[in-house]
């Protein structure tokens, strides 16, 4: 019997033995063991197995997973390898823990301890596999269950009900006792909170917290999207009641404290359907060659006092939310659409950045003041665009690349009916032309300094009164939009500089900045490889300005190329996300050393924070608490991301709904995403994106080449690359999962093979790199 046992044990491989050693040590934390004790405890009787065990222990020592005392005994220090973090699951079904120190630890399904996404957990690190840099662990404790609400469709059965959750991060349906349904009926959309999940039970146990309504109803589905991301879809009555009590009147005493712009030409420029006008622009000629331009922002902080019930709600929301068919405002409607809105011919309190600019749009001087204005006119973008075009001013802003200006092309305006553009708009043509010319010079100056130029279309839907999408159209920024944008950017920059830019040795006071870090180095290198493959050169080293100018030149050179969309997508993925912080690092994308958000306090809480701090510092008070404002910045950044995710989800829902009656129809599309599981294709005419599983791409296996953003057939070497043109057929439109599935009809872009110029440019570029490396290695040998 003993010999048989030893014979069996000799078949253990290193991976299995490592697992045995780790499991043994984790069961005996703080205990110490000699080699002989290991051999005995693990029944390692043969010499090869004992030597293998010594190798395993040495590797665990190198990885820091075990320690050795002065007597040579081995021990596992559980405290050293126990970490806390938040459990999550990817859309591909992979589990991981985001630890507090920024590590990502992979967790197998059997090691999750029934953790759910968002749960606070303790995770025990395991030994790394040889050749792998990935961390793996086992969850040992669920410290705190997440209060996340799960949204889905209720399925009521005889004994109990279940919540069917479309979110792939929830692997199991949630079981609900019939006395916990809140009156919800079979097939309805509900919100459910998980209350328990015993280890011996297959499904988590939950209770209904809210009945959202009938599945498929537009109101229900939009509320479900908001609830899924933990966002509100109604306003508390007590907050609206508080807003109703606010006196909108402006006293003579208040006007006396402010700089008066009521007699200076001032107007607003906003979307056609806007009601919350939170910014206005004034213009006045000071003397020949000098213009005074005022950027006037609704003085929300005058009406919303810090700590009030309205302020608490605004702080919690942090941002207005924009879904396909509605806006969920940060402030009560009476404030954002009436009291604070800079409506024409009404006296309004504002906080203003006023500049004197010369003809080259250089800031000669500025002041930041509390003001009172009376807007002369409310413009929409289409009106301003039409006025500019009528005077030959609507041209695409000149881009700067390699220190020289590129020729400009006319911008076509959206079709605007005669009723939309009122005749008196022409009265302000001269002022609009001056502002447009100054805005272009401001824009050019930004690009000269290294600002990145991404100019992408936004998808919009025309919907009926029931929320059904009737058609898709695209919104692209034109000169009228860019005119407003440039003066808002200028105001935000100058306000940030007024606090953050201090003499050497002087610590700047606390201010929330809008920061944007440099691109991800690895992703930028991947973009450079792509550029080389397309016959271009992209700098990844050097100053910020040099790298940004090189990227702008690459983007400009790719305009109209079949790979334009591919290049734009990969470039965007290389960029970091902008966020709020009191620790200033500048804004890479805008090429500003100092930047904040000052211009939209009606819809962004950080702008209100900035207004309050500016007022505080103007009054001579000391710097605010950095800890307090950093926490508010983190919260605002988090809420901004949730609001953006909800907006994308609402667009995706409407895209699926729009395509639901087009099953079997064929469309031209472009590959918009590549994964190891398949490709995403975006239809050219409506930007609706769907998935094509890898099994439908051909009768062979495909390898995922992530460095070149493509799938490659193992036998045929056929490629499917990001940006390739394809012909697709709509296979399914699943509203439950907000998912479109397509079938590949044919690929329209030729494969990249060794016979195509596309391939050769890539091959030549890499050959040069290899040749250069070879020369260097030769010179080293000679030395």
> Structure pTM?
0.81
775 pLDDT band, cuts 50/70/90, is very low
Integer Cα distance of 323 and 644 in angstroms: 9
Comparing 267-281, 452-466, 619-633, which segment has the lowest mean pLDDT? 452-466
Is 530 a residue whose pLDDT tops 90? no
Better pLDDT: 361 or 81 = 361
pLDDT number for residue 760: 43
Beta bridge partners of 319: 604
The CA distance from 599 to 294, in Å, is 12
Per-residue pLDDT band at 318 (split at 50, 70, 90): very high
Ranges of H-type helices in 590-727: 605-618, 626-659
Parallel, antiparallel or unpaired: strands 666-675 and 725-734 = antiparallel
pLDDT of residue 708: 81
Decide: residue 197, CB within 10 A, 0-12 exposed, 13-18 middle, 19+ buried.
buried
Q: What is the pLDDT of residues 14-23, one digit of tens each?
A: 878 877 887 7
Work out the pLDDT band at 480, boundaries 50, 70, 90.
very high
Q: Which of the four pLDDT bands, split at 50, 70 and 90, describes residue 99?
A: confident
Residue environment code for 537-570, b if the CB has 16+ CB neighbours within 10 A, otherwise e: ebbbeeeeeebbbbbbbbbebbeeeebebbbbbb
Q: What pLDDT is recorded for position 549?
A: 86
Mean pLDDT for the stretch of residues 161-172: 88
Look at residue 759 and tell me whether its pLDDT is greater than 50: no
pLDDT at 534: 82
User: By C-alpha distance, which of 331, 315, 321, 328 is closest to 244?
Assistant: 331
pLDDT tens column, 444-456? 999 988 898 877 7
**Mean pLDDT of the residues in the chain:** 86
Task: Give residue 126's pLDDT band: very low, low, confident or very high (50, 70, 90).
Answer: confident
Task: Choose the weakest-confidence range: 404-413, 684-693, 733-742.
Answer: 404-413
Task: Give 408-414's long-range contacts (Cβ < 8 A, gap of 24+).
Answer: 411/385, 411/478, 411/479, 413/382, 413/385, 413/386, 413/389, 413/478, 414/382, 414/385, 414/478
* pLDDT above 50 (res 675): yes
Q: Assign 679 a pLDDT band (cuts: 50, 70, 90).
A: very high
Tokens (6 digits) for 356: 């004197």
Q: What is the pLDDT of residues 545-555, one digit of tens each?
A: 888 888 988 98
**The pLDDT value given to residue 682:** 93
Q: Which of 19-23, 121-125, 191-195, 572-576 has the highest mean pLDDT?
A: 191-195
- Supply the Cα-derived Rg of the chain in whole angstroms: 31
Which of these ranges, 154-163, 352-361, 754-763, has the smallest mean pLDDT?
Answer: 754-763
Is residue 130 scored above 80 in pLDDT?
A: no
Cβ proximity of 277 and 600 under 8 Å: no
Residue 753 has a pLDDT of 52
**If residue 29 lies in a helix (H) or strand (E), which one and from where to where?**
none
pLDDT digits (tens, 9 = 90+) for 2-11: 433 333 345 7
Q: What is the pLDDT of residue 634?
A: 97
The DSSP output letter for 336 is: I
First vs last Cα of the chain: how many Å apart?
Answer: 64
Is the model's pLDDT at 173 over the cut of 50? yes
pLDDT at residue 456 in the model: 75
- pLDDT higher at 284 or 62: 284
What is the reported pLDDT for 79? 59
Nearest to 433 by CA among 389, 382, 401, 402: 389
* pLDDT tier, 655 (very low <50, low <70, confident <90, very high otherwise): very high
Instruction: For residue 691, list its beta bridge partners.
Output: 680, 741
Q: Is the dihedral of CA 716, 722, 723, 725 positive or negative?
A: positive
Name the strand (E) or helix (H) holding 112. none
DSSP summary character for residue 324? S
Is-contact 677 694, C-beta < 8 A?
A: yes
Nearest to 599 by CA among 483, 497, 492, 480: 492
Mean pLDDT of 303-315: 97
pLDDT exceeds cutoff 90 at 482: yes
Per-residue pLDDT, 127: 58
pLDDT surpasses 50 at 397: no
Q: Is the model's pLDDT at 758 over the cut of 60?
A: no
Mean pLDDT of 650-659: 95
The residue among 761 and 46 whose pLDDT is bigger is 46
pLDDT in tens, 599-632: 999 999 999 999 999 999 999 999 999 999 999 9
Cα distances from 730 to residues 460, 647, 741, in angstroms, run 21, 24, 6
CA angle 446–447–449, rounded 5-degree value: 65
pLDDT of 339 > 50? The answer is yes
The C-alpha atoms of residue 601 and residue 492 are separated, in whole angstroms, by: 12
Please state which of the ranges 133-137, 215-219, 593-597 shows the lowest mean pLDDT: 133-137
378 has a pLDDT exceeding 60: yes
Q: How far is it, in rounded angstroms, from Cα 240 to Cα 551?
A: 48
Say how many CA atoms lie within 13 Å of 743 toward its Cβ: 9
Which of 86-95, 195-204, 674-683 is predicted least confidently?
A: 86-95
Residues 402 and 411: beta-carbon distance below 8 Å? no
């Amino acid at each position: 019997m003993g010999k048989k046992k030893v014979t069996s044990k000799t078949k253990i491989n290193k991976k299995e033995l490592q697992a045995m050693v780790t499991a043994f040590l984790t069961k005996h934390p703080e205990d110490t063991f000699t080699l002989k004790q290991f051999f005995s405890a693990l029944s390692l009787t043969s010499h090869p197995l004992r030597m293998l065990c010594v190798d395993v222990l040495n590797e665990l020592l190198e990885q820091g997973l075990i320690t050795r005392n002065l007597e040579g005994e081995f021990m596992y220090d559980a405290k050293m390898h126990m970490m806390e973090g938040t459990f999550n699951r990817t859309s591909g079904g992979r589990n991981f823990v985001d630890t507090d120190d920024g590590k990502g630890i992979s967790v197998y399904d059997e090691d999750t301890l029934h953790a759910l996404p968002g749960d606070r957990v303790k995770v025990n690190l395991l030994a790394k596999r040889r050749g792998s840099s990935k961390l793996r662990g086992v969850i040992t404790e669920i410290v705190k269950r997440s209060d996340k609400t799960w949204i889905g469709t209720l399925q009521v059965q005889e004994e109990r009900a279940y919540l069917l959750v479309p979110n792939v991060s929830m692997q199991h349906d949630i079981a609900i006792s019939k006395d916990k349904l809140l009156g919800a009926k079979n097939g309805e959309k509900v919100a459910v909170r998980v209350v328990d999940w015993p280890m011996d039970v297959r499904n988590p146990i939950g209770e209904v917290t809210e009945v959202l309504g009938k599945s498929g109803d537009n109101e229900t589905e939009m509320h479900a999207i908001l609830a899924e991301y933990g966002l509100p879809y109604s306003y508390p009555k007590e907050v609206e009641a508080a807003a109703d009590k606010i006196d909108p009147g402006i006293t003579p005493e208040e006007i006396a404290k402010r700089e008066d712009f009521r007699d200076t030409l001032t107007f607003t420029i906003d979307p056609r359907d806007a009601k919350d006008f939170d910014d206005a622009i004034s213009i006045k000629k000071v003397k020949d060659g000098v213009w005074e331009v005022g950027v006037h922002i609704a003085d929300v902080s005058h009406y919303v006092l810090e700590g009030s019930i309205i302020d608490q709600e605004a702080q919690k929301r942090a941002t207005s939310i924009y879904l396909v068919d509605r806006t969920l405002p940060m402030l009560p409607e009476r404030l954002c659409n009436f009291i604070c809105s800079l409506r024409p011919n009404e006296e309004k309190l504002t906080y203003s950045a006023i500049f004197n600019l010369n003809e080259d749009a250089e800031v000669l001087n500025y002041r930041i003041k509390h003001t009172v204005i009376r807007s002369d006119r409310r413009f929409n973008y289409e009106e301003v665009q039409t006025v500019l075009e009528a005077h030959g001013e609507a041209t695409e802003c000149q881009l700067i690349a390699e220190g020289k200006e590129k020729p400009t092309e006319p911008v076509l305006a959206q079709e605007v009916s005669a009723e939309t553009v009122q005749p008196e708009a022409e009265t302000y043509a001269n002022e609009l032309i001056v502002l447009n010319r100054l805005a272009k010079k401001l824009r050019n100056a930004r690009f000269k300094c290294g600002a990145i130029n991404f100019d992408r279309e936004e998808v919009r839907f025309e919907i009926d009164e029931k929320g059904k999408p009737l058609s898709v159209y695209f919104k692209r920024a034109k000169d009228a939009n860019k005119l407003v944008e440039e003066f808002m950017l200028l105001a935000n920059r100058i306000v940030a500089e007024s606090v953050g830019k201090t003499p050497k040795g002087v610590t700047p006071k606390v201010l929330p900045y809008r920061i944007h870090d440099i691109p991800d180095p690895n992703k930028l290198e991947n973009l450079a490889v792509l550029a080389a493959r397309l016959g271009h050169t992209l700098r990844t080293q050097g100053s910020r300005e040099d790298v940004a100018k090189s990227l702008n030149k690459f983007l400009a050179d790719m305009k109209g190329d079949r790979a334009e969309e591919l290049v734009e997508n990969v470039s965007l993925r290389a960029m970091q996300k902008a966020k709020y912080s009191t620790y200033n690092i500048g804004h890479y994308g805008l090429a500003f050393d100092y930047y904040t958000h000052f211009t939209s306090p009606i819809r962004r809480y950080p702008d209100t924070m900035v207004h309050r701090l500016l007022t505080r510092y103007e009054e001579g008070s000391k710097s605010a608490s950095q800890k307090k404002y950093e926490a508010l910045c983190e919260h605002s950044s988090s809420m901004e991301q949730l609001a953006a995710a909800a907006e994308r989800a609402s667009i995706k829902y409407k895209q699926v709904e729009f395509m639901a009656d087009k099953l079997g129809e064929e469309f031209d599309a472009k590959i918009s995403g590549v994964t190891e599981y398949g490709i995403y294709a975006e239809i050219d005419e409506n930007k609706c994106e769907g998935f094509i599983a890898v099994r439908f791409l051909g009768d062979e296996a495909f390898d995922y080449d992530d460095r070149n953003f493509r799938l490659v057939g193992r036998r045929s070497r056929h490629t499917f690359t990001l940006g390739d043109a394809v012909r697709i057929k709509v296979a399914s439109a699943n509203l439950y999962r907000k998912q479109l599935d397509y079938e590949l009809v044919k690929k329209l872009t030729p494969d990249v093979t060794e016979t195509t110029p596309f391939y050769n440019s890539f091959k030549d570029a890499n050959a040069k790199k290899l040749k250069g490396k070879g020369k260097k290695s030769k010179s080293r040998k000679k030395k």
